[in-house]
Amino acid sequence: MPIYEYHCPCCDLDFERLRPLSAADQSAACPKCQSESRRRVSQFASFSRGSSGELSAVGGGGSNCGGCSGSSCSTCH
CA distances from 73 to 45, 49, 64, 66 (A): 16, 19, 12, 10
Contact range with Zn ion by CB under 5 A, out of 16-24, 31-39, 40-48, 51-59: 31-39
DSSP class of 25: T
Closest to Zn ion by CB, 31 vs 62, is: 31
Q: Does 32 bind Zn ion (CB under 5 A)?
A: yes
Q: Which residue's Cβ lies closest to Zn ion? A: 30
Distance CA(35)–CA(11), nearest Å, equals 9
Contact range with Zn ion by CB under 5 A, out of 15-23, 30-38, 39-47, 62-70: 30-38
Closest to Zn ion by CB, 32 vs 77, is: 32
Applying CB under 5 A, which of residues 33, 57, 68, 73 lies at the interface with Zn ion?
A: 33
Q: Phi and psi of 70, rounded to 5°?
A: -150, -115
Q: Phi and psi of 32, rounded to 5°?
A: -95, -55
